[in-house]
Amino acid sequence: MADQWNLEQLKTFVQVAELRSFSAVARAQRKAQSAISTAIALLEADLGVSLFERSSGRQPTLTESGEVLLEDARELLRQCERFDSRALALMRGQEALLRVAQDEAMPYQPVLDSMDDLASRFPYLQVHLASGAQGDVARKLVQRRADLGLFFNHESIPASLERRTLGSVEMVTVCAVNHPLARQGRVSLEQLARHRQLLITPGDSDYPGGQAISPQVWRADSFYAMAELLMRGLGWAWLPRHVVQYPTYQAHMLELDSEWRPPALVAELAWRRDEPLGPAGQWLAERFAVHLRAIG
């Protein structure tokens, strides 16, 4: 079987299959009908199969082989469109791939809304989205495994990163609905100190919300891991409000009226100072800012 067919022949094949008329395709391409018929005949010769049934006075109808190959032809043409679009974007300076890393406790709705906007604005951009526990995002940026990062501000963020404050996330004091603290009214620090505290991050971290109130502390590097422990009555914790409102947790947690809570988590966007963001990265950064401000 010869393999001299070309993309123009594939386009003509798809057009004839969709319009069911050689003459209609000839008008669309501003060519003689005989040129369209010849293009299809040459494609059939190259492929070694008949694509259309041809009967005098009837519309061209796909053969079984034509039916099988039609979607393959469409996909090849779609791939070519993507190829051309990416090449054009690269020529204009747009990045071909954007790698985004986010703290897993980042409010998910602003992130999803921002990614939805990105897909509409840059339909052929490749995106890798990674989630991680506290500290993972900054490491990915420093190790060049991410281009853009979303995390909560803490003192040990590497100095090599450029940072931009986007908004804040409220922290609340919570326990399981069956925890002894759930039966209290306004909860004092002394009352909290009598019960096991669930804290984020290792003990030497300066991450917001890392202050030990109770002498008995369990720690985790994930707010969601803490939420799972908390639901089982294993302690009380300070959690971001949006984590407490997650449907899986809502019925199992109670927000406490506490005399003290840690400051809000400050959401920041970061990227490497030695590699400025491309057009898509800059545009996504603006969308993150818009959507995070909306919930703040």
pLDDT tens for 204-228 read 455 555 688 899 999 988 888 899 9
Same domain for 86 and 47, yes or no, is yes
How many Å apart are CA 223 and CA 239, to the nearest integer?
7
Per-residue pLDDT at 116: 93
How many Å apart are CA 220 and CA 239, to the nearest integer?
12
pLDDT tens sequence for the chain (296 residues): 456 888 899 999 999 999 888 899 999 989 998 999 899 999 999 898 999 987 756 788 899 999 999 999 988 888 887 777 667 666 667 788 899 999 888 888 888 899 999 999 998 889 999 988 767 888 899 899 999 999 888 767 777 888 888 888 888 999 999 999 998 888 899 999 999 999 987 544 555 556 888 999 999 888 888 999 999 999 999 998 888 888 888 889 999 998 887 888 888 888 887 777 888 998 998 898 888 776 65
Q: How far, CA to CA in Å, does 215 sit from each of 72, 111, 192, 199, 212?
A: 66, 36, 10, 12, 7
Same domain for 46 and 185, yes or no, is no
Per-residue pLDDT at 276: 74
Same domain for 104 and 245, yes or no, is no
Same domain for 147 and 76, yes or no, is no
With beta carbons less than 8 A apart as the criterion, state whether 181 and 236 touch: yes
Residue 240 within a domain: yes
Same domain for 199 and 213, yes or no, is yes
Same domain for 278 and 158, yes or no, is yes
Match 């501003």 to its residue by tokens.
30
Same domain for 210 and 253, yes or no, is yes
Residue 141 within a domain: yes
pTM listed for this prediction: 0.62
Per-residue pLDDT at 263: 83
Residue 2 within a domain: no
Residue 117 within a domain: yes
How many Å apart are CA 268 and CA 292, to the nearest integer?
10
Residue 12 within a domain: yes
How many Å apart are CA 222 and CA 237, to the nearest integer?
12
CB atoms within 10 A of CB 168: 17
How many Å apart are CA 151 and CA 200, to the nearest integer?
14
Read off φ and ψ for residue 3, nearest 5 degrees.
Answer: -135, 45
Match 């053969």 to its residue by tokens.
63
Instruction: Please name the amino acid found at residue 77.
Output: L
Domain boundary residue, one of 74, 91, 108: 91
Domain span including residue 61: 7-91
Reduced to 3 states (helix: H, G, I; strand: E, B; else coil), residue 187 is strand
204, 258, 227, 163: CA torsion to nearest 10:
-50
Same domain for 254 and 194, yes or no, is yes
Interstrand relation of 148-152 and 97-103 (parallel, antiparallel or unpaired): parallel
Task: Report the CATH number at residue 281.
Answer: 3.40.190.10
Same domain for 72 and 110, yes or no, is no
With beta carbons less than 8 A apart as the criterion, state whether 38 and 25 touch: no
Tokens at 106, concatenated: 């980042």
201, 293, 139, 96: CA torsion to nearest 10:
150
Element (H, E) at 171: strand 171-176
Same domain for 284 and 153, yes or no, is yes
Q: Which stretches of 105-260 are DSSP H helices?
A: 108-121, 136-142, 189-193, 223-231, 241-244, 247-250
Per-residue pLDDT at 203: 47
Same domain for 11 and 148, yes or no, is no
With beta carbons less than 8 A apart as the criterion, state whether 135 and 86 touch: no
Instruction: Please name the amino acid found at residue 181.
Output: L
The closest of 291, 282, 248, 285 to 269, measured between CA atoms, is 285
Task: Report the CATH number at residue 59.
Answer: 1.10.10.10
Count structural domains, the chain.
Answer: 3
Residue 1 within a domain: no
